[in-house]
Structure 1
Amino acid sequence: MGKAISKDGTVIGYDRTGHGDPVVLVGGALCDRQVHSGLAEFLAPHFTVFNYDRRGRGESGDTAPYAVAREIEDIAALIAEAGGSAALYGISSGGALALEATAAGLPVTRVAAYEPPYLTSEADAAATARQTDPVPGLIRDGRADEALEHFLGATGMPAAAVAEMRTTPAWSSLVAVAPTLVQDFAVMGDSTVPVERFAGIRVPALLLDGSAGMAFMHDAVLAVASAIGGARTITLPDQTHEVSVDALGPVLIEFFAEP
């Protein structure tokens, strides 16, 4: 495992595999770098892949106070480790973070995002806010398990499924990383597409979603692509938010390998 040092001194842990032009993988909410281990292996014959733990997760530190700018500096540190420029891929809120890092002017060559969970409907935004507003307070009060329940409910997971998940060994791991949800909320802002910032993205951009996923994700992809001049969109057949490597990998290889 490698270690990059972010601008504020935070240690960012990452795995480096493969050879070729560098690609940095950015995970979403509740995820450490293991979420992209299969994708990293798939891409490694074609690219040098930097698969990292976002701050507060896995082998990375979490220096206070948090700000989205610190996460962008983390990506900058990884790009420096990669030689000074790199392509970015992120999923869910990690996709939003990859787009924010690109909009901030980091030396990004290309950026791809899978289902960044922006909301284009006022009704959806209001409903989501009602479910997620308690989360930061619950985390401050040390009630991470309840915060996790609220978040999972906001993603559309039925209460029965959440109750079942509580009985699995994975639940304690999710509770342990639940405090980082406030970071993902900060990345997403008010959950609307930051049109003015994304209009400043000048590198090739690819927005992806799955045909079997939630309709609002498709709307989000179209809205983000509309904000970025020349961005492309692809809907992967039969895929949900938990996209398979076999469906996603070949599309990313083609996009990142373009001259």
Structure 2
Amino acid sequence: MDEVSTTPSRIRGRVTSRDGTPIAYERYGDGPPLVLVSGALGTAAGERVLGGLLARSFSVVAYDRRGRGASGDTGPYAVEREIEDLAAVVGEAGAGAALHGTGTGGALALAAVAAGVPTGPVSLYEPPYAAEERERWRRVAALLDRGRRAAALDLFLADSAGSPGLRAGVTELRPGVAESARTLAYDVAVVGDGRVPERLLARVRARVLVVDGGAGPVGTRQAARDLAAALPRARHRTLTGQTHEVAPHVLAPVVEEFLTEDRETAGAV
């Protein structure tokens, strides 16, 4: 899809996280605030097509998670620092900003809401809680522990559902992409043991939509259903014919419908 035709003018900026780390973001569109949280290796640039479609109804903010793109990377790393990064971006986006997270970005979004970051509703696309995902992240973590970043990156890309598109996107956005493999360790930390974190999810009071692709692995679809069942206020939806590399024009109206419904419901209360 042609990015120029779908993405309105962007405003670039930076916000400072609690530990002083600069976090770069892009904002486009007008309306209620919506923050996009990327998955492993993703950047704000990689969210432009989906963000452009959603910008017809929302003020969309996409950001570079720490260690990626134009954002800083103050050490030592901890998931709590990434939650603080997201809190800073939400504060910049606007009070009660909705969240949409893909893959490990969805897991991070849930962790932030459980930690008390004040957000609106949350939509997620295939958070990595399937058994196949647990094994993949275990192997990636083992390579990272041995200092084999390039091998970890190759394994991640080779095993990723929809990997051809992901590999092409990563290569285009960052020619020295092997260096960014260190951030895979951050996603390993966000995923934890890879099981649905039921105790954490019990603290999520936001309305949540969990989406998966109907053409993806059976385990991924079951994990999405399990996740929705473990959340206090969640629903599940499968997009027929979609894989982990979901088509933005298919996903965007589903996210928009859910978030718009949430606003209408809140207004009626």
Length-normalised TM-score, structure 2: 0.85
Q: Which string of whole-angstrom CA distances, capped at 9 and with x for unpartnered residues, describes residues 56-107 of structure 1?
A: 0001001001111111111110111123321000100011111111111111
Contact 1:88–1:108 (CA under 8 A) maintained in structure 2: yes
Residues matched between the structures, number: 247
**For residue 196 of structure 2, what is the amino acid of its counterpart?**
V
Question: Match for 1:132 among 129, 140, 157?
Answer: 140
Residue equivalent to 1:22 = 33
Contact 2:126–2:211 (CA under 8 A) maintained in structure 1: yes
Q: 2: CA distance between counterparts of 1:102 and 1:230?
A: 13
Q: 1: CA distance between counterparts of 2:231 and 2:153?
A: 33
* Cα gap change, 1:169 to 1:104, in 2 (>3 Å): closer
1:46-65 superposed matches below 5 A = 46-65=57-76
Contact 2:134–2:195 (CA under 8 A) maintained in structure 1: no
Report the CA distance between 1:230 and its aligned residue. Answer: 2.8
Q: Which string of whole-angstrom CA distances, capped at 9 and with x for unpartnered residues, describes residues 219-246 of structure 1?
A: 1111111110231111011111111111
Contact 2:211–2:236 (CA under 8 A) maintained in structure 1: yes
Q: 2: CA distance between counterparts of 1:36 and 1:129?
A: 23
* Cα gap change, 1:154 to 1:3, in 2 (>3 Å): same
Contact 1:103–1:201 (CA under 8 A) maintained in structure 2: yes
1:14-93 superposed matches below 5 A = 14-93=25-104
Name stretches of at least 5 consecutive residues in structure 2 with no aligned partner: 1-11, 265-269
Q: Which string of whole-angstrom CA distances, capped at 9 and with x for unpartnered residues, describes residues 160-200 of structure 1?
A: x8xxx79x965954313111000000000000011011011
**For residue 145 of structure 2, what is the amino acid of its counterpart?**
G
Name stretches of at least 5 consecutive residues in structure 1 with no aligned partner: none
Contact 1:20–1:46 (CA under 8 A) maintained in structure 2: yes
* Cα gap change, 1:157 to 1:112, in 2 (>3 Å): closer
* Cα gap change, 1:187 to 1:127, in 2 (>3 Å): closer
Length-normalised TM-score, structure 1: 0.88
**For residue 37 of structure 2, what is the amino acid of its counterpart?**
V
Percent of aligned pairs with the same residue? 44
Question: Match for 1:118 among 100, 104, 129?
Answer: 129
**For residue 145 of structure 1, what is the amino acid of its counterpart?**
A
1:179-218 superposed matches below 5 A = 179-218=182-221
Contact 1:210–1:238 (CA under 8 A) maintained in structure 2: yes
* Cα gap change, 1:200 to 1:21, in 2 (>3 Å): same
